[in-house]
């Protein structure tokens, strides 16, 4: 691979848990030695159950949270430390809830202009950016509450593009939207990706979207990447029990997938941990 657009190297992040009255209640390792790289222009997915560390990884790539260890490189240059600030403009993020990520007191035009201004770019591009996300230019005068969910998410994408990023981190960008609207937002992202040569990190629970949209995917389980590869391969021939577990948790969309469904035994009514699962498989292999 030429220099990756994004490289995540052995990144780890833990959080201190707070119990009642702020007492220290231990630590959780949200991200545990995660590494992956995305070639320029590629669409890379990150899938995993709730709490597996997806958003924590996204936030570290955005520079919103610092890793405890490891490095994050954009176009070959570390974004950690003082000199990294200069490279952060190259990455922008689109969040799950477009309602919460837009300021309700600003018009669409103002929101986009604030983003342009923050990065020292001229305000003139608002109309052009709205056209890029297939919204009428006069939407610049509207407030977020006057827009549908899909329109708000288009505005959030326009605002992210205002900064002319090379990489977009999409954290569940369509999960708050109706299925029909989801498909059109994904189509828009595909078109923009092609036209602007963008690189995407696409985070989602939705494995059918993952399958349609991404070329490569990493499967995250309890903070670790357990499997990574071309999406078609990971989905049709998963190598890890964790991946099968994840595939088993989504509605079956084909017989082929139905055949992949493992029978996951529950332990005390919960899904087993990675370690439990391996121990069970080992026991099965030994025929005990
Ligand atoms: N600021 C924080 N303080 C304490 N714990 C946190 C914090 N942020 C995340 N965590 C914990 O880290 C783990 C990973 O969380 P994260 O939000 O990255 O998961 P996720 O894969 O994005 O989940 P979801 O699919 O529900 O969005 C979870 O156990 C979560 O509770
Ligand atoms: Mg998340």
Between the CA of 234 and the centroid of ligand 1 the distance, in Å, is: 24
The pLDDT of residue 141 is: 96
- Ligand nearest to the CA of residue 15, numbered in listed order: 1
Residue whose token pair is 């890793």 = 67
State residue 25's pLDDT score: 73
- Give CA separation, 146 vs 95, 99, 141, 179, 180, in Å: 19, 11, 10, 21, 20
CA dist 141 → 103, 118, 241, 268 (Å): 14, 20, 51, 55
- Closest residue by Cα to atom 1, ligand 1, is 15
Q: Is 50 in the pocket of ligand 1 (CB under 6 A)?
A: yes
pLDDT given at position 258: 54
Q: Report whether 35 contacts 3 (CB < 8 A).
A: no
d(CA 225, CA 52): 10
Domain residue limits, the chain: 6-90+165-285
For residue 134, with 0-12 CB atoms within 10 Å meaning exposed, 13-18 middle and 19 or more buried, which class applies? middle
Task: Kindly give the distance from the C-alpha atom of residue 95 to the centroid of ligand 2, in angstroms, as a whole number.
Answer: 9
Which pLDDT does position 145 carry in this prediction?
94
Strands 24-38 and 6-18, by their bridges, are antiparallel
| Confidence at residue 260, expressed as pLDDT on a 0 to 100 scale | 52
Q: Which H helix or E strand runs over 203?
A: strand 199-204
CA-based nearest residue to 172, from 156, 192, 148: 156
User: Which tokens in the block code for residue 234?
Assistant: 């990971």
Predicted local distance difference test score (pLDDT) of residue 267: 64
53 lines ligand 1 (CB under 6 A): yes
pLDDT digits (tens, 9 = 90+) for 227-249: 999 999 999 888 888 888 777 76
User: In degrees, to the nearest 5, what angle opens at C-alpha 132 toward C-alphas 127 and 138?
Assistant: 35
Kindly report the backbone phi and psi dihedral angles of residue 287, in degrees, each rounded to the nearest multiple of 5, phi listed first: 70, 30
Ligand 1 binding pocket includes 55 (Cβ within 6 Å): yes
Global model pTM greater than 0.95: no
Q: What is the pLDDT at residue 263?
A: 55
Which tens digits make up the pLDDT trace of 42-96? 999 999 888 899 999 999 999 999 999 999 999 999 999 877 777 777 899 998 8
Distance CA 49, CA 12 (A): 18
Distance set, CA 144 to CA 85, 95, 135 (Å):
30, 15, 13
Give the pLDDT of residue 24: 75
Q: What is the pLDDT of residue 206?
A: 84
Nearest atom of ligand 1 to the alpha carbon of 31: 14
Nearest ligand for residue 54 CA: 1
Going by their DSSP bridges, the two strands 199-204 and 69-74 should be labelled as: unpaired
Cβ of residue 204 lying under 6 Å from some atom of ligand 1: no
pLDDT of residue 284: 75
The structural architecture, per CATH, of the domain 6-90+165-285 is 3-Layer(aba) Sandwich (3.40)
pLDDT at 9: 98
Atom of ligand 1 nearest to the CA of 203: 22
pLDDT averages per 10-residue partition of the chain, 288 residues: 92 88 81 97 93 94 94 94 76 86 92 88 87 94 94 94 94 87 92 96 90 94 93 90 77 53 58 70 74
Alpha carbon 272 to its chain centroid, in Å, reads: 25
The 8 Å CB, 24+ separation contacts for 116-124 are 116/162, 116/163, 118/163, 119/89, 119/162, 119/163, 121/162, 121/163, 121/164
Ligand 1 pocket residue status of 51, Cβ below 6 Å: yes
Q: What is the pLDDT of residue 22?
A: 73
Ligand 1 atom closest to the Cα of residue 49 is 25
């Amino acid at each position: 691979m030429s220099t990756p657009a994004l490289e995540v190297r052995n990144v780890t992040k833990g959080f201190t848990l707070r119990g009642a009255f702020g007492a220290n209640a231990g630590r959780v390792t949200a991200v545990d030695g995660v590494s992956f790289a995305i070639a320029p222009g590629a669409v890379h997915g990150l899938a995993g159950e709730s709490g597996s560390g997806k958003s924590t990884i996204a936030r570290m790539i955005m520079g919103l949270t610092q890793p405890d260890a490891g490095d994050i490189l954009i176009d070959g240059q570390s974004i950690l430390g003082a000199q990294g600030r200069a490279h952060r403009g190259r990455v922008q993020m689109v969040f799950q809830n477009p309602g919460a990520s837009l300021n309700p007191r600003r018009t669409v035009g103002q929101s986009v202009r604030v983003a342009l201004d923050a990065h020292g770019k001229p305000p003139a591009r608002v109309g052009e950016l709205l056209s890029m996300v297939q919204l009428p230019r006069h939407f610049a005068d509207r407030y977020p509450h006057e827009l549908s969910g899909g329109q708000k998410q288009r505005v959030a994408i326009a605002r992210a593009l205002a900064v002319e990023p090379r990489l977009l981190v999409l954290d569940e960008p369509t999960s708050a939207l109706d299925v029909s609207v989801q498909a059109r937002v994904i189509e828009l992202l595909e078109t923009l990706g092609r036209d602007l040569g963008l690189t995407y990190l696409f985070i989602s629970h939705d494995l059918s979207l993952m399958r349609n949209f991404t070329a490569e995917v990493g499967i995250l389980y309890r903070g670790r990447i357990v499997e990574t590869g071309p999406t078609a391969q990971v989905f049709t021939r998963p190598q890890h029990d964790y991946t099968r577990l994840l595939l088993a948790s989504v509605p079956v969309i084909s017989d082929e997938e139905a055949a992949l469904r493992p029978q996951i035994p529950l332990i005390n009514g919960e899904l087993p941990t990675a370690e439990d699962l391996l121990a069970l498989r080992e026991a099965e292999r030994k025929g005990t």
